[in-house]
Amino acid sequence: MAVTGDGTEAGLSAYWMASQLGDTDSSLPQEAAGASAPCSMEQDEVLLKRESLLMRNRKAARVTRLKKKQYIRCLEERTLALERKNVSLIAEIKAMRHMHRK
The number of angstroms, rounded, from the C-alpha of 70 to the middle of its chain's C-alpha atoms is 19
pLDDT higher than 50, residue 1: no
Range of the structural domain that residue 99 is part of: 40-102
Write the pLDDT tens digit of every residue in 20-73.
555 545 454 554 444 455 568 889 999 999 999 999 999 999 999 999 999 999
Q: Does 21 share its domain with 51? A: no
Q: Does 52 share its domain with 102? A: yes
Q: Domain count for the chain, please give it.
A: 2
Q: Does 48 share its domain with 90? A: yes
Query: How many CB atoms are closer than 10 A to CB 32?
Result: 19
The number of angstroms, rounded, from the C-alpha of 8 to the middle of its chain's C-alpha atoms is 31
